[in-house]
Amino acid sequence: MTGLEPYEIPVVGTYVDPRILPGFYYRVRPNHRKQHLFQGQSLKLVSVGMGYAKRLTFESESKLNATNYLWSDNHPDGLGLEPRAVLKGMKFQILVGDQIIGQANVFRADMPQQEESTVKKMTPTGKYAIIKRIYIDVMCHINLDLNDTGANIEQLMRVCGVATVRKHPNQSEAKVIRVDNVGLDSQLNLLFARTQTELTFLPIR
């Protein structure tokens, strides 16, 4: 399907890509257009309807009167759904091994995020959890307390990594579990690379 970006997952006619699943967040763009639907918001997909033309319903402010929905066949050129894992306003602890060395607050999250994999994992109840790994590229307010150097660093930094997002079978919303392979657009990244230190982000609920 031409016209979509590499990070967008297709919906066209009656076809909805099987990677598009309720409980996860998406940003929606009609093919061959620059503007996103729903004011460019990242919205949780609530349901994918059955039948010939499938209704995709996204979370709305009103739970009684859903206004954020579309039909899969209403856009002849199709739609691209971009998976969204890390959103503006999220907060994370920054860890080196088991040691907490700081905090990250997401300031901007408008760069593309791209799904790397989707797997199903059996839970003790016999039902499946769904786990996605999504590449992220965001801007964060970083606060680091490096005890070894005595430095306390507060800085706005670009952060890249791979977020693990899990939807438990009894939950309606997928949650970020962790962000691995974290890279900082800063000279600090060289410090961590030289010492072969890997950073991990864990969400603060």
- Per-residue confidence band for 32, with pLDDT thresholds at 50, 70 and 90: confident
- Per-residue confidence band for 35, with pLDDT thresholds at 50, 70 and 90: very high
Is the domain of 159 the same as that of 198? Answer: yes
Is the domain of 13 the same as that of 97? Answer: no
What residue has token string 């739609």?
79
Q: What is the mean pLDDT of residues 63-89?
A: 90
pLDDT at 63 over 90: no
What confidence score (pLDDT) does residue 45 get?
A: 97
Count structural domains, the chain. Answer: 2
- Per-residue confidence band for 104, with pLDDT thresholds at 50, 70 and 90: very high
What confidence score (pLDDT) does residue 190 get?
A: 64
Is the domain of 96 the same as that of 196? Answer: yes
The residue out of 45, 62, 83 marking a domain boundary is: 83
The residue out of 53, 83, 113 marking a domain boundary is: 83
What confidence score (pLDDT) does residue 192 get?
A: 67
Rounded distance between C-alpha atoms, residue 46 and residue 75, angstroms: 20
Phi, psi (deg, nearest 5) at residue 193? -65, -40
The residue out of 63, 83, 103 marking a domain boundary is: 83
What confidence score (pLDDT) does residue 189 get?
A: 67
Q: What is the pLDDT of residues 109-118, one digit of tens each?
A: 999 999 999 9
Within a domain: 58: yes
> 63: domain range?
9-83
| Residue 139 near residue 159, CB atoms below 8 Å | yes
Q: Two tokens at 184?
A: 């900082």
pTM: 0.91
Rounded distance between C-alpha atoms, residue 108 and residue 105, angstroms: 9
Within a domain: 3: no
Is the domain of 174 the same as that of 129? Answer: yes
Q: What is the mean pLDDT of residues 47-75?
A: 86
| Residue 79 near residue 54, CB atoms below 8 Å | no
Within a domain: 1: no
- Per-residue confidence band for 84, with pLDDT thresholds at 50, 70 and 90: very high
Phi, psi (deg, nearest 5) at residue 75? -120, 100
82, with CB counted inside 10 A (0-12, 13-18, 19+), is buried
pLDDT at 103 over 60: yes
Dihedral of CA atoms 25, 104, 162, 87 in degrees, nearest 10, equals 10
Is the domain of 98 the same as that of 196? Answer: yes
What confidence score (pLDDT) does residue 193 get?
A: 63
Within a domain: 4: no
Q: Two tokens at 202?
A: 């864990």
Q: 3-class secondary structure for the chain?
A: CCCCCCCCEEEECCEECCCCCCCCEEEEEECCCCCCCHHHCCEEEEEECCCCCCEEEECCCCCCCCCCEEECCCCCCCEEEEEECCCCCCEEEEEECCEEEEEEEEEECCCCCEEEEEEEEECCCCCEEEEEEEEEEEEEEEEEEECCCCEEEEEEEEEEEEEEEEECCCCCCCEEEEEEEEEECCCHHHHHHHCCCCEEEEECC
Is the domain of 102 the same as that of 174? Answer: yes
